[in-house]
């Protein structure tokens, strides 16, 4: 009989406790169940009249119920007293703290833009190693040891004879070794040069390389592709020009410039008075480069290009010093949200 009664008390007490939504109701609950004249206390008091065996069973059950109810009671009390209006140590009228949130690095933004444009033109995106062999960085690109053109790239050599790639062009070779034409890829990535840094030179920077190899690829395809790229990145009204240039791994070689973004071609400090800004190097893949990777230059031809990435946001956002990019200064980076 006592056991049944205990079960009932626990159930009712639990329900009423959940319904108690003020300190007053809570303390009246406490009086009714756990107080000196409360229901549970009465049972505990009358246990003495029971037989020894019953006393043990009812007593331990009653104590368990009492413990559980006490615990529920103090939890409920905490819940009620933590309501915002009841806490005196928190001024809920204070304005909140703004969330700080990150943003994409300007280089990342431009890289993504470039990749999106070339993906749309049918190019795949591939990455390659930053630590390179002499063979890929120079030799296979038509620059044997002692070739004077090697001096165009101030190189960081490692003790084991490897080097930090000075451009993304070595990936042209790695790709042609693995894949057979038709090939259409771009290769974004970091490059390194042994250079005293100044406003326009960093020892680490990004390039995007491009390579297309197929039957019947001509200079017209190269110019068409780069013109479309410029239209999409800089707008159709931005004039571009191609001029002859020399790179050992292309023949003919050229550079592409765009009309200066600062002065619209009139001539200013940014373009050193010329009205033009050089954006990239390019050309038709040299037959000897194709031969080396066992692609027959009588059957196939290709074009390649390589551009510096930081140059583009520098021109777009009038950033006057490349060293801002990797100095990790939030005052600089937060401007590109």
d(C-alpha 17, C-alpha 89), whole Å: 27
Q: Does 167 bind ligand DAH (CB under 6 A)?
A: yes
Query: With contact defined as beta carbons under 8 Å apart, do 306 and 208 qualify?
Result: yes
40 versus 279: smaller Cβ distance to ligand DAH:
279
Alpha-carbon distance of 64 to 58, in angstroms, equals 10
Q: Is 189 in the site for ligand DAH (CB under 6 A)?
A: no
- Known catalytic residue at 193: yes
Cross-strand pairs, 206: 190
Known catalytic membership, residue 337: no
Single out the residue of 132, 209, 259, 310 in contact with ligand DAH (rule: CB under 6 A): 209
Give 194's contacts (C-beta < 8 A, 6+ positions apart).
Answer: 154, 155, 156, 203
Contacts of ligand DAH in 305-324 (CB under 6 A): 305-306
Q: How far apart are CA 159 and CA 296, in angstroms?
A: 36
| Only segment of 14-22, 44-52, 236-244, 304-312 that touches ligand DAH (CB under 6 A) | 304-312
H/E run at residue 222: helix 219-234
Using CB under 6 A as the binding rule, whether residue 43 contacts ligand DAH is answered as no
Nearer to ligand DAH, 43 or 282 (CB): 282
User: Distance between terminal CA atoms of the chain?
Assistant: 72
By CB under 6 A, name the one of 282, 290, 293, 322 that touches ligand DAH.
282
In whole angstroms, how close is the CB of 328 to ligand DAH at the nearest point? Answer: 25
Comparing CB distances to ligand DAH, the nearer of 188 and 306 is 306
Give the containing element (helix H, strand E) for 306.
strand 301-308
Structural tokens at position 292: 């080396």
Is 150 an interacting residue with respect to ligand DAH (CB under 6 A)? no
User: By CB under 6 A, is residue 202 in contact with ligand DAH?
Assistant: no
Selecting among 207, 289, 311, 324, the annotated active-site residue is 207
Q: Does 207 participate in catalysis according to the annotation?
A: yes
Question: In this complex, which beta carbon is closest to ligand DAH, that of residue 29 or of residue 305?
Answer: 305
- Among 304, 314, 315, 319, interactor with ligand DAH by CB under 6 A: 304
Residue 302 Cβ, how far from ligand DAH at the closest point, in Å? 10
Residue 17: which residues within 8 A CB-CB, separation 6 or more? 26, 29, 69, 72, 73, 76
Contacts of 291 (CB under 8 A, 6+ apart): 297
Nearest to 6 by CA among 50, 64, 45, 76: 64
283 is a contact residue toward ligand DAH (CB under 6 A): yes
Is 276 annotated in the active site? no
Query: Which of 136, 247, 276, 325 touches ligand DAH by CB under 6 A?
Result: 247
Q: Is 153 a catalytic residue?
A: yes
Residue of 58, 110, 250, 285 with catalytic role: 250
**Residue 328 in 3-state DSSP?**
coil
What's the full length of the chain, in residues?
Answer: 337
**HSE-up of 4 (CA within 13 Å, CB side)?**
1
**Interface with ligand DAH, residue 302, by CB under 6 A:** no
For ligand DAH, the binding residues (CB under 6 A) are: 167, 169, 209, 247, 250, 253, 281-283, 304-306
Catalytic site positions: 153, 167, 193, 207, 250, 304
């Amino acid at each position: 009989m006592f056991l049944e009664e205990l079960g009932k008390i626990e159930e009712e007490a639990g329900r009423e406790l959940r319904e108690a939504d003020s300190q007053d109701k809570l303390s009246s609950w406490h009086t009714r169940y756990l107080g000196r004249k409360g229901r549970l206390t009465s049972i505990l008091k009358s246990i003495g009249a029971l037989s020894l065996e019953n006393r043990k069973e009812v007593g331990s059950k009653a104590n368990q119920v009492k413990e559980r109810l006490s615990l529920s009671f103090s939890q409920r009390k905490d819940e009620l007293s933590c309501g915002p209006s009841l806490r005196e140590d928190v001024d809920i009228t204070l304005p909140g703290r703004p969330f700080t949130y990150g943003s994409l690095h300007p280089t990342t933004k431009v890289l993504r833009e470039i990749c999106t444009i070339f993906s749309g033109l049918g190019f795949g995106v591939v990455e390659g190693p930053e630590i390179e062999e002499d063979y890929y960085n120079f030799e296979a690109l038509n620059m044997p040891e002692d070739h004077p053109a090697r001096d165009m790239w101030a190189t960081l050599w490692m003790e084991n004879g490897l080097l930090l790639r000075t451009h993304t062009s070595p990936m042209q070779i790695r790709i042609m070794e693995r894949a057979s034409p038709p090939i259409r890829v771009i290769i974004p990535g970091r490059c390194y040069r042994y250079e005293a840094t100044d406003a326009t030179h960093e020892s680490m920077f990004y390039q995007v390389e491009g390579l297309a190899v197929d039957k019947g690829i001509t200079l017209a395809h190269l110019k068409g592709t780069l013109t479309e790229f410029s239209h999409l990145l800089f707008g159709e009204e931005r004039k571009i020009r191609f001029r002859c240039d020399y790179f050992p791994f292309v023949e003919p070689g050229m550079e592409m410039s765009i009309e200066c973004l600062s002065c619209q071609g009139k001539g200013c400090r940014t373009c050193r008075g010329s009205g033009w800004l050089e954006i990239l190097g390019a050309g038709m893949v040299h037959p000897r480069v194709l031969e080396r990777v066992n692609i027959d230059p009588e059957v196939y031809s290709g074009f390649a290009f390589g551009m510096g990435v930081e140059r583009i946001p520098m021109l777009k956002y009038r950033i006057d010093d490349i060293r801002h990019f990797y100095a990790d200064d939030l005052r600089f980076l937060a401007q590109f949200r």
